[in-house]
Amino acid sequence: MNVMRTGMLLAFMTALFMGVGFLIGGTGGMMIALVVATVMNLFSYWNSDKMVLRMHNAVEVDEANAPEYYRIVRDLAANANLPMPKVYLIQNAQPNAFATGRNPQNAAVAASTGLLQALTPQEVAAVMAHELAHVEHRDTLTMTITATLAGAISMLGNFAMFFGGNRQNNNPLGFIGIIAAMVVAPFAAMIVQMAISRTREYAADRRGAQICGNPLWLASALNKIARGAKQIVNEDAERNPASAPLFIINPLSGQGADNLFSTHPSTENRIAALEAMAQEFRQAQPAPQQGRRVQAPAEEEIQDDRPSPWGRNGGGRKGPWA
């Protein structure tokens, strides 16, 4: 089912890409767009995860230089019966995180330094469990390829104003076609991203809560991340808005509402769903969890002189992320 869904998505985005080419250059432009889209689809399948990580200046870390962060991801992956993903750190003050990769065997998770500083270890565990849920559901391939193609469609739409004015381009719709290429096609790509992102965030929230064992950890984390995302501008995300749906909370400024133009569901609605899930947990009889439950370190158990995961001595708030 996931393979079919991804194939349908690729076909739609390719058709949209060809449509933009047709509006800009007629039949010749459509054929060129088909060739470009085919190459991009193949390239995106193998390299889109690397592109997204590079966009956000993510640096791979391991147990030697980010022990607490790495250990939490390792324990969560074991709890979910998933292969250990690559672990990345983003030097960004905005608290946020995302997952990418074409399959669970080639997955990567990334958290910002702002997230590790602002959240408790339990909340960090919940966020990374949410990202691993995306990996388990194979959302990472679909969302990463969609982000790559949506960005390309938007760029092609911008080129329309330069190439569309050429009378030799066989554009059958004239100026109307140019406007459609500039506005309608990028908007359609954005709508596809929104629809995909919204439905999958709820599913990843629920599965992430199961993986970490406590829905309220994730509810608390979402509240903190949403507040931080409103207060701190993520310049890398603003330069690459097509990657926004990959994040656990929309990293773009001014995008907090659950409306037509939001790439994510309302944070309040997600928190309410997690609180309802916590109530279900309390009412249900205790049942053995699959795998082993992650044990995030309690803050009071951490020595004050422990270095931070990225080599700076912690100051102020105590904990492995300070």
Residue type, 9: L
176 and 111 in contact (C-beta within 8 Å)? no
DSSP 231-255: HS--HHHHH-GGGGGGBSS--STT-
The CA distances from residue 287 to 75, 80, 136, in Å, are 20, 16, 22
Give me 124's structure tokens: 């960090």
320 and 297 in contact (C-beta within 8 Å)? yes
Residue type, 153: I
H-helix or E-strand containing 86?
strand 86-90
Q: Which of these is catalytic: 60, 63, 123, 131?
A: 131
Instruction: Show the CA angle centred on residue 57, arms to residues 160 and 311, nearest 5°.
Output: 170
238 is known as an active-site residue: no
C-alpha 81/C-alpha 224 separation (Å) is: 28
C-alpha 286/C-alpha 191 separation (Å) is: 41
At 28 the three-state DSSP class reads: helix
Catalytic residue numbers, as ranges: 131
